[in-house]
């Protein structure tokens, strides 16, 4: 099984500052087709998760350009530039190279 390990944030993060969330996979998520099968979601309190980034670095429709995804085959980062109150919630990474698995989540709090 591919295990997804997420890092923690130094909460609370001051409003307007940037925040980077890390995610590490136990196996490279780079597919032979050149795509990296890693996605990011935000789950705001009391809501369903919403897609932020797919294929490691492609922003989903309607997602603010303050969100960006990057990484290699096994180490990934979701960067939020200039965090805002609406960014509060839990962020999950998810792989789909083999079955589908989520990371354990990273909570973002704003000061």
Cβ–Cβ < 8 Å for 100, 3: no
Residue ranges binding other proteins (CB under 8 A): 1, 37, 39, 41, 43, 48-51, 54-55, 60, 92, 94, 96, 99-105
Q: Please, which residue, 14 or 45, has the CB nearer to other proteins?
A: 45
Structure tokens of 57? 């670095």
d(CA 99, CA 89) in angstroms, rounded, equals: 25
Cβ 31 to other proteins, closest distance in Å?
Answer: 9
Q: Please, which residue, 18 or 31, has the CB nearer to other proteins?
A: 31
Cβ–Cβ < 8 Å for 110, 9: no
């Amino acid at each position: 099984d591919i295990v997804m390990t997420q890092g923690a944030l130094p909460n609370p993060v001051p409003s307007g500052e940037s925040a980077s969330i890390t995610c590490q996979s136990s196996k490279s998520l780079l597919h032979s087709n050149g795509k990296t099968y890693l996605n990011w979601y935000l789950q705001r309190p009391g809501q369903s998760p919403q897609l932020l980034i797919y294929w490691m670095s492609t922003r989903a429709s309607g997602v603010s350009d303050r969100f960006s995804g990057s990484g290699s085959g096994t180490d990934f980062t979701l960067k939020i530039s200039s965090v805002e109150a609406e960014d509060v919630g839990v962020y999950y990474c998810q792989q789909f190279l083999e079955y589908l698995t989520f990371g354990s989540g990273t909570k973002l709090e704003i000061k």
